[in-house]
Structures are given as structure tokens and as C-alpha cells.
Amino acid sequence: MSLRKVIPLNTAAKIPQIGLGTCSEPTEVEQAVEVAVRNGYRHLDLALIYHNQDEVRRALKKVIPSVVSREELFITSKLWNTSHQPQIVEAELDETLNQLGLSYLDLYLVHWPVAFVSGNDLSPVKSDGSEVELDTETSLVDTWKAMIKLLDTGKVKAIGVSNFTIAHLQGIIDHTGVVPAVNQIEIHPLLPQDDLVAYCKEKGIHITAYSPLGNNNFGIPMLTENAVVQEVAGKLGATPAQVLIAWGAYRGHSIIPKSVNEGRIISNFKQIELSKEDYEKVSSIGVGNVRRYNIPVTYKPKCNINIFDEEVEKSASTQVKIV
């Protein structure tokens, strides 16, 4: 069973350390969420762009209040790129709440530091279909100010960001004085992001780690197949996924592995703890072998913007508009 650890946020709320990621096929999420909650998960990570929040609503109806009360769950969702314009931020939150059948979220995140042109199409593309159409006028500060106003509505308990770098975070903090509660970012042994982690710790920003097991969309072996990870798993009588989740937990992150497989959902929640020696052994696989999987400039259609300053982004024609 999970160690059921919770981590305090800078709002005094507590986020359960292990959550269920729901970036999965819409037809599979209803059962996954129900299985997760029935087996002890209390942290659910959602997003409008996953196109499955109506399925999550159906799952929640099956477990609230028969299994848990609403107050026992920590539910996160995210503002999508087409709603960064300040005048429509609250309307998208309302749409998410409507899809979920909820009156409030525990945490609402700005999904990406990237604004798309607004409209009904969540991936608006240029006429030739090659690139997403960016809104280069709306800044991160503009959007963050609108997010701050949501705190007075009672519809969100906390606000945060996702995929933000140090520069993005410093910009919104400097211009509003409001520190995000959470920065949800890609973190795993091949992408420890130590500088960003240290910055967030200094500012009191909690980190939620997505893609903790790596990514299987690139035709390369998953981190669960790594020999070092498997060696540590064998030593501890654990699964490789449990080892990778424990690696993130050792660092103090909350972790949101995604799965729609009942056995893996249950297994991922059975926390183990790593010794310093085992943590360092797993960390060693990223030395000289850094790999970021989630870079929008590589998407199709292309999102022509430099977010992380990775080599593949340096030819992008647009920079993130912070202010």
C-alpha cells in the first residue's frame, strides 16, 4: 500500500505525494480513475486538453460519496493555451468545472508558458497546416494576473504553473508578487532539472513530476527497461516503475504516473523507499545522458517557440513573452 505521504504547499494545503496522471485515451480514463480511487489514490491530475474530463466526471460519480468525499480528493486541472487571454481565463475554468461536475478545483495550473490564438479549436493552425498559430501579444504576466483573480471566486483553492523555467517563474513573481503553489514539470533520472528544482525550493514552489517513467512515444526503451533501474528493482523486490516513482519521492516531489492498466495503477501506488545509495545509483543513468521528451517545437503541427532553450528549439522563430 502507499505510504500515503502528503506534502504541504505554500498555501498550507496538502498534496498527496502519489497521484494518477490522466493524459490517456478518453475511452480508457473512466475505469482508470475509478480503479485508482477505489485503491487509495486521492490525487488526480487532469487537463482540458486531454479531452477526457467528462469521463473523469462519470468516474467521480461512482466514487463520491460512496468511496470518498469530495474533500478527501486533491484534483488538479489546467488552463489550456487557447485561453491565456485574461478575459477568458475564468470561462475556461468554468468549462472544466462543468465537464467534471465539480464546484471547485484544489489546484489550477497554467498548462504551458505558451499562448495560442483563442477560439473553439484547441490546436489552431496556420492556413498551410504546418504550425500552430501563436498569440504573441498575451504575456505570461497577463495570464498569471487573471489566474490570481480566480482565488477570490472560490472555484480554485490554489494556482500554479506547468512547464515553466526559472526565467518564466521569476518574471511572473517579480510583476505580481504572487508565487505559484506548484510547478508541474517533466522530471525523471534523465532530466533531473537540478537548477530549476533548487530555485523552486528556494521560492517555496512545490514540484509535481510528470513522465516519471520516461516516455514510450519515441521508439526508444522506456526507463523501466534500463538495466540499472531493473537491478535496483530486483534488489528491493519492487517493480522498475516503483523504483522510478521512489526516485522522485526521494527528492520531495509529488509524482503522477499515468496508466490505464488496473494492475499497474495498483502497483504504482505501492510505494517503496530508496536508500541514498540506491537513489544515487538510479541518478547515475542521467549523467552525460540528459533527455527531455516533451518539447512542443517537435510536435506536429509544429509549435514554433523556444520554451526550454534546448538545442532543437534554438531555430524557433518565437520566444516566450514573459511581460
Over residues 224-240, the mean pLDDT reads: 97
What pLDDT does residue 176 have? 98
Predicted local distance difference test score (pLDDT) of residue 4: 85
**Is the pLDDT higher at 26 or at 144?**
144
pLDDT for the residue numbered 109? 99
pLDDT, residue 1, reads 54
- One-letter amino acid at 225 equals E
162 neighbors 112 (Cβ within 8 angstroms): yes
Instruction: Examine the pLDDT at 239 and tell me if it is beyond 80.
Output: yes
- What's the average model confidence in pLDDT over 139-155? 98
Write the CB contacts of 222 (distance below 8 Å, at least 6 apart in sequence): 213, 214, 215, 216
Give the residue-averaged pLDDT of 303-320: 97
Instruction: Pick the catalytic residue from 41, 50, 108, 279.
Output: 50
Task: Give tens-digit pLDDT for 70-91.
Answer: 999 999 999 999 999 999 999 9
Out of 37-41, 65-69, 117-121, 281-285, pick the least confident: 117-121
Give the pLDDT band of residue 162 (cuts 50, 70, 90): very high
Residue 232, all three cell numbers: 535496483
Beta bridge partners of 306: 319
Question: What is the per-residue pLDDT for 106?
Answer: 98
Indicate if the pLDDT at residue 220 is higher than 70.
yes
Q: For the chain, give me the number of helices (H) and strands (E)?
A: 10, 12
Which strands, in side-by-side order, build the sheet including 182-186?
20-21, 43-45, 74-79, 107-110, 159-162, 182-186, 206-210, 254-255
Q: Which residue has the higher pLDDT, 3 or 269?
A: 269
Residue 199 known to be catalytic? no
Distance between CA 223 and CA 297 in Å, rounded?
23
Cβ atoms < 10 Å from Cβ of 5: 15
Give the tens place of pLDDT for each residue, 180-219: 999 999 999 999 999 999 999 999 999 999 999 988 777 7
Q: Taking residues 248-276, what's their average pLDDT?
A: 97
At residue 142, the pLDDT reads 98
Q: What is residue 3's predicted lDDT score, i.e. its pLDDT? A: 76
* pLDDT tens by residue, 23-72: 988 889 999 999 999 999 999 999 999 999 999 999 999 999 999 999 99
Measured torsion, CA atoms of residues 213, 219, 220, 225, in degrees rounded to the nearest 10: 50
Question: For position 83, what pLDDT does the model report?
Answer: 98
